[in-house]
Amino acid sequence: MSTTRADPAEHDPAQHAPAEHAPAEHAPAERDAAGPLDELTLTGLEVFAHHGYYAFEREQGQRFVIDTTLWLDTRAAATGDDLDRTVHYGVLAEQIASAAQSDPVDLIETLAERVAGVVLAYPTVARTRVTVHKPDAPIEVPFADVSITITRTQGAASTVQEAAGA
């Protein structure tokens, strides 16, 4: 039984892959063959950032709300009550917030890709669904929310730089 607490400042996703799992280069479908994957969900992570198409959005900044679901096998973590065999959601939240607050972009689609990249840096995560909400978007008619939802799979996700041809 693990009784130590992980230090978020020292967390390295690559160090926390369960030993009996295949390395990250294996296709997620192979992981699914062992049984259904579990879902870990982080909902309503709120960050203030300077993304947006318009100059005033980048200058003034605004709220973004991020939801993400991770598909992974948590049996080893549960059996051993071991945080090091799963994803530390507190650390993940900090990593997502940091990524979302850096380097302004025009589109919430780009921001969602960035967040998916953070999540998929964990080799134990087979798939992620990311929703980025922009509740204060500059829309002239009344609305409740605007968002983008993407789903990306370990090993199949291209980075924003690859997509941009860099």
> For the segment 64-87, what is each residue's pLDDT rounded down to a tens digit?
999 999 999 999 999 999 999 999
* pLDDT at res. 34: 62
Tens-place pLDDT, residues 148-162: 999 999 987 455 445
Tell me which residue of 58, 49, 166 sits closest to 112, measured CA to CA: 49
pLDDT at position 29: 40
Q: Are 98 and 47 in contact (CB under 8 A)?
A: no
Per-residue pLDDT, 55: 95
Identify the segments of the chain with pLDDT beneath 70: 1-34, 157-166
73 close to 17: Cβ distance less than 8 angstroms: no
Residues 6+ apart with CB under 8 A from 89: 40, 42
- Cβ neighbors of 73 (< 8 A, separation 6 or more) are 18, 21, 31, 34, 35, 37, 38, 124, 126
| Structure-token pair, residue 160 | 């924003």
| Average pLDDT over all residues of the chain | 82
Q: How many angstroms separate the Cα of 37 from the Cα of each of 41, 69, 75, 105, 140? A: 13, 12, 9, 33, 42
Half-sphere exposure of 131 (CA within 13 A, CB side): 13
How many other CB atoms sit within 10 Å of the CB of residue 63?
13
Is 99 an annotated catalytic residue?
no
The pLDDT of residue 155: 85
pLDDT at residue 82, as a whole number: 94
Predicted local confidence at residue 151, as pLDDT: 98
**Distance between CA atoms of residues 116 and 93, nearest Å:** 12
16, two tokens: 């926390």
pLDDT of residue 148: 98
Q: Is the pTM of this model over 0.85?
A: no
pLDDT of residue 32: 54
Tokens 């294996």 belong to 26
Identified catalytic residue from 88, 129, 134, 152: 134
